[in-house]
């Protein structure tokens, strides 16, 4: 398998931007689900979580590309289905379980797992388009 680093970086950037939009739209609901307020968050951008998120998205894009390549997936529709199944089987289930044990609201699980669904779908689109 040859690794297309440009496609991986493009997928990570596109999904990071999509995540920024996701939480820009759902930020108030997300903070409410956590029991946070604007005041408790402070005025500065949380740089460490932002960098962590971007690094995670690079890794996700690399792994998604590997899965799609090893499965010999071609076509956007199949790539989107694989991304959805990865999200459903590994990401959403993990978030729901972790939040249940942390006694977090189901709304938090919906918002956070929805974000990662968007991330994986955007990555599948970008990787499918670029490969």
Q: What is the pLDDT of residue 1?
A: 63
Give tens-digit pLDDT for 80-121: 999 999 999 999 999 999 999 999 999 999 999 999 999 999
The reported pTM is 0.93
Candidates 55, 85, 56; CA nearest to 68 is 85
Polymer length in residues for the chain: 131
Structure token pair of residue 76: 């956007």
Half-sphere exposure of 80 toward its Cβ, with a 13 Å CA cutoff?
8
pLDDT in tens, 4-63: 999 999 999 999 999 999 999 999 999 999 999 888 887 777 899 999 999 999 999 999
* Interval 62-77 mean pLDDT: 93
Q: What is the dihedral of CA 37, 42, 45, 46, to 10 degrees?
A: -80
């Amino acid at each position: 398998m040859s690794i297309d680093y440009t496609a991986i970086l493009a997928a990570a950037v596109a999904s990071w931007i999509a995540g920024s939009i996701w939480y820009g739209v759902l930020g108030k609901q997300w903070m409410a689900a956590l029991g946070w307020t604007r005041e408790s968050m402070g005025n500065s951008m949380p740089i460490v979580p932002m960098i962590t998120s971007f690094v995670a998205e690079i890794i996700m894009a690399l792994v998604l590309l590997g899965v799609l390549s090893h499965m010999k997936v071609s076509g956007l529709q199949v790539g989107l289905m694989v991304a959805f199944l990865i999200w459903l089987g590994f990401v959403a289930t993990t978030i729901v379980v972790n939040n249940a044990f942390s006694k977090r609201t189901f709304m938090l699980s919906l918002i956070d797992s929805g974000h990662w669904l968007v991330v994986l779908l955007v990555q599948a689109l970008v990787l499918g388009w670029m490969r």
